[in-house]
Amino acid sequence: MKILVTGATGKLGSKVVETLLKSVPASQMAVSVRNPAKAENLRARGVDVRYGDFDHPESLVAAFEGIERLLIISADGDNETRIRQHTDAVAAAERAQVQFIAYTSLTNAMDTTMFLSPPHRAAEEAIVKTGIPYAILRNNWYLENEMASIQAVMAGAPWVTAAGSGKVGWALRQDYAEAAAAVLTGSGHENAIYELSGPLLTQEELASVVGKVLGKEVPVQQVDDDTYADIMKRAGVPDAVVPFLVNIQQGIRAGALEVESRDFEKVLGRPLTPIDQALRQLLGELQTK
């Protein structure tokens, strides 16, 4: 059996690969990357490093040749670009006769109003249409996404949000990576859709846990979208990124990430890393940088 992970030098992909290498021989591992030079460390360890660019579908067909189990990690970019990239990647997997596709999707992808959903919806539909056995990993939200807010709090700022009482199922990127690895190496995941969500928390509840971990009071400043955008700009966020962040706040406020599920524990075969422990881990990593 040969497993391939796309985007293997990215934040999630690199963690998936490292997790897999703990139980899978390097000779059975392959990665598809846009810049193979960045994966030389993996090649040196015996991993099959292949060139694959989501903007060049033919390269993906070649990269996926001989692969039995494939993890397609969703790409970055605007929705139109991602829809094309994701559907091209699925088509390449079909042409390469891949036998199983796992895909990192978004919470409640087929029904959510979250602005990020169209590329995931298109990918899920394309995967199902191939008839290839699949597992859809609907990732909720990475706790790492909140590091800027946590660092601001550490510097004495309040926790600023426009998300209102919307709840999020935060979890560590490592937990998402281990879930993906478990699906790639385990059995019984054919044609499964997993809602991978941690315990649902509001911004106030997360800020409270952050405060306990830091040993300080963390005031929460609830603002409207315009005020949030202004605060982000004054904090140095690039103008092009601000609307993206505002849209995320709007989606959370509307309940787009409020999906209760025990799928995470089911896939991992263990309890999810508790939120306070996860935060301590992230802060420890921050201090060692």
pTM above 0.85, yes or no: yes
Residue 74 falls inside a structural domain: yes
- List the pLDDT tens digit at each of the 289 positions of the chain: 899 999 999 999 999 999 999 999 999 999 999 999 999 999 999 999 999 999 999 999 999 999 999 999 999 999 999 999 999 999 999 999 999 999 999 999 999 989 999 999 999 999 999 999 999 999 999 999 999 999 999 999 999 999 999 999 999 999 999 999 999 999 999 999 999 999 999 999 999 999 999 999 999 999 999 999 999 999 999 999 999 999 999 999 999 999 999 999 999 999 999 999 999 999 888 777 6
Return the CATH number at 202: 3.90.25.10
Task: Indicate whether 146 and 288 sit together in one domain.
Answer: yes
Query: What whole-number distance in Å separates Cα of residue 199 and Cα of residue 92?
Result: 36
pLDDT digits (tens, 9 = 90+) for 84-138: 999 999 999 999 999 999 999 999 999 998 999 999 999 999 999 999 999 999 9
What are the residue ranges of helices labelled H in 4-161? 11-20, 40-44, 57-64, 79-95, 117-130, 147-154
In a domain, 190, yes or no: no
Share of the chain above pLDDT 70, in %: 99
- Using only C-alpha atoms, the chain has a radius of gyration, in whole angstroms, of 19
- In this structure, is residue 116 part of a structural domain? yes
Q: Where are the alpha helices (DSSP H) in the chain?
A: 11-20, 40-44, 57-64, 79-95, 117-130, 147-154, 173-185, 203-214, 225-234, 242-253, 263-268, 275-288
In a domain, 235, yes or no: yes
> pLDDT at position 284, please?
85
- Which residues are CB-neighbours of 168 under 8 A, at least 6 positions away? 140, 141, 200, 201, 202, 203, 206, 252, 257, 258
Co-location of 145 and 285 in the same domain: yes
112 and 85 inside one domain:
yes
Reading phi first (left if > 0) and then psi (alpha if -120 to 50, else beta), residue 148 is in: alpha
Instruction: Find the domain containing 289 and state its range.
Output: 140-170+197-259+272-289
Out of 139, 154, 189, a domain closes at: 139
179 DSSP assignment: H
Does 144 lie in the same domain as 276? yes
Q: How many folded domains does the chain comprise?
A: 2
On whether residue 248 sits in a domain, the answer given is: yes
Give pLDDT, residue 289: 62
User: Domain check: are 244 and 288 in the same one?
Assistant: yes
Instruction: Write down how long the chain is.
Output: 289
